[in-house]
Amino acid sequence: MSDRSSRALRLALWAQRQAHVVPAPLRRLGGRTLRRLANPGEGTSGPSEDWSVPLVPGRGAGDLEALRPMVADMPPSTPPAAAENTGSRPVRCAIATGVLDVGGAEEVAAFLARRLPAHRFETAVIHTGTRLPGQEGAGGRLARALADEGISTHLVTPDDAGAWLRSWRPDVISGHNADDWLLDAATEAGVPWVETLHDMHRFYHPDSWVPEGRRARGIAAQVAVSDLVRQQYLVRNPGYPGDRLITVPNGVDASRVRRVDRASARAALGLTDEFLFVSLARYCLQKNTFGLVTAFADVAAAHPDAHLLVAGRANDDMLYYEQTRQAAASLPSADRIHLRGHCANPLALLAAADAFVLDSFFEGWSLASMEALAAGVPVVLTDVGGAREQLANGRRGHLVGNPAGDAELVDWQVINDLRYRPQGNRSDLVAAMSSMVRERAAWAASRERLRAEAIGLFSPDESLAGHARVLRAVALGDPLPADGRRGTDG
């Protein structure tokens, strides 16, 4: 790394931490300038994805990613429910997304691609990339997995997307954070589009509201993954017909609730009696990893056996990851804060965990926390989309205030100002996490209850049927269901 690059990187990191005192227009201009001057890829390395390294130095470890689910503990295998209206013709559905690598929205898209055929859909996946800007490695992990399963996947560009749509001739498109030009191509080809609102991050600045009002005119219907997301969207785009925005909560796929032996998972991480918090989250402002890491310092000071393990990709914002890494390294508990990269075996991480935690500014409906509950792991969640439903008034963990204040009024200006500053929910977050450590025996005894409740409540079949009802209605020009969680399949 050159001296110039090193200086630029240090300047960028310092300026980000001081940005809250700068007026917003200057902050945006300065941010663009610093990103040009400081290429974080030249000065930083991402978190390690070597899962054979123990969390506690000197301990034995194993290959965590090689651990397989327990065969004897597999959930009962039941055939997916068939479409209720078996007389309806099959529907051809293209599932559209952006970078098909890893992530919650991408997992939902893959789930629909795999499972909609049980509801008399023919599916194909179209995506516009496999790697984020600056991402190392091949990327495209979900794209390869789907292709290996025999699911039709296609990487499309602005030049050939229209030709693909005219050739395959889908009846409807299910969109999941896809590029806007793909919606334009669908509109030109006359294919109706159903957008899935996984969260509201695109609409947290007033400048996005008018363009979204225009964009939404080309959307036949929308699916919100939680009631909070639905409410937030209609506040920001009041011109969109409320009866065309249907709530369909996410479900947890049976393949993602299989259990790994807990003793083996903890041994692979080099753990004995330590209390392990796990956070499966990208290193980015949305997930507020910086806030979680700095708050954990208070937990660690009171509980010498507590460890925090964050696992996720850092390519979305390498400067943010570097700020978080430096903050963690400066803390007295640095040896108990473990910032790792993506893990290909999250089931093993959850098996090793004593609790799961997210300190997000916003979510639509967190798949990671839902999967933690389905693994029997209690959770600590901020007040974001889906959190109230998942936690059920404390039966499955602790709900703490949103770090930005009122969850329904979250916006980018507030979030940006709080990026590296003390946040209003810190004391509540520390108290909730400390409570988990103190009550570890009670929560450990509740793992089977948590698992059974989560698998029963977050039914993948119900979520699948909700999407199928909306997609079929749009494809056939039928009335939309009043609620994606009720009604027939069309």
3-state secondary structure the chain: CCHHHHHHHHHHHHHHHHHHHCCHHHHHHHHHHHHHHCCHHHHCCCCECCCCCCCCCCCCCCCHHHCCCCHHHCCCCCCCCCCCCCCCCCEEEEEEEEECCCCHHHHHHHHHHHHHHHHCEEEEEEEEECCCCCCCCCCCHHHHHHHHCCCCEEECCCCCHHHHHHHHCCCEEEEECCCHHHHHHHHHHCCCEEEEECCCHHHCCHHHHHHHHHHHHHCCEEEECCHHHHHHHHHHCCCCCHHHEEECCCCCCHHHCCCCCHHHHHHHCCCCCCEEEEEECCCCCCCCHHHHHHHHHHHHHHCCCEEEEEECCCCCCHHHHHHHHHHHHCCCCHHHEEEECCCCCHHHHHHHCCEEEECCCCCCCCHHHHHHHHCCCCEEEECCCCHHHHHCCCCCEEEECECCECHHHCCHHHHHHCCCCCCCCHHHHHHHHHHHHHCHHHHHHCHHHHHHHHHHHCCHHHHHHHHHHHHHHHHHCCCCCCCCCCCCCC
pLDDT value for 419 = 87
pLDDT tens-digit series, residues 385-407: 889 889 988 899 999 999 999 88
- Predicted TM-score (pTM) of this structure: 0.75
- What is the rounded CA–CA span in Å between residue 23 and residue 304? 41
Whether residue 201 has pLDDT greater than 80? no
Mean local confidence (pLDDT), 54-74: 85
**pLDDT value of residue 391:** 92
Mean pLDDT score, 357-368: 92
pLDDT in tens, 458-486: 889 999 999 999 999 999 999 999 865 54
* pLDDT reported for residue 10: 53
Q: Quick: pLDDT tens for 205-257.
A: 888 889 999 999 999 999 999 888 898 899 899 999 999 999 999 888 777 78
| 270-279, 330-339, 403-412: least confident range | 403-412
Give the whole-angstrom CA distance, residue 40 versus residue 13: 10
pLDDT at 45 over 60: yes
For tokens 């293209």, the residue is: 94
Confidence of residue 86 (pLDDT cuts 50, 70, 90): very low
Is the CB of residue 484 less than 8 Å from the CB of residue 466?
A: yes
Joined tokens for residue 425: 């929910």
What pLDDT is recorded for position 337?
98
CA distance 490 to 488: 5
Residue 41 has pLDDT above 60, yes or no: no
Q: Which of 12-26, 184-198, 216-230, 473-487 has the least mean pLDDT?
A: 12-26
In this prediction, residue 422 carries a pLDDT of 87
List of domains in the chain:
3-43 (no CATH), 64-69+259-457 (3.40.50.2000), 81-251+459-476 (3.40.50.2000)
Lowest mean pLDDT among 45-54, 67-76, 468-477: 67-76
Over pLDDT 90: what percentage of the chain? 65
- Angle at which helix 104-115 crosses helix 460-476, to 10 degrees, equals 70
How much is the pLDDT for 279?
A: 98
pLDDT score of 102: 79
Tokens of 149: 């399963």
Question: Looking at residues 17-45, what average pLDDT do you find?
Answer: 53
Pair type for strands 172-176 and 193-197 = parallel
- Whether the predicted pLDDT of 15 surpasses 60: no
Higher pLDDT: 169 or 29? It is 169
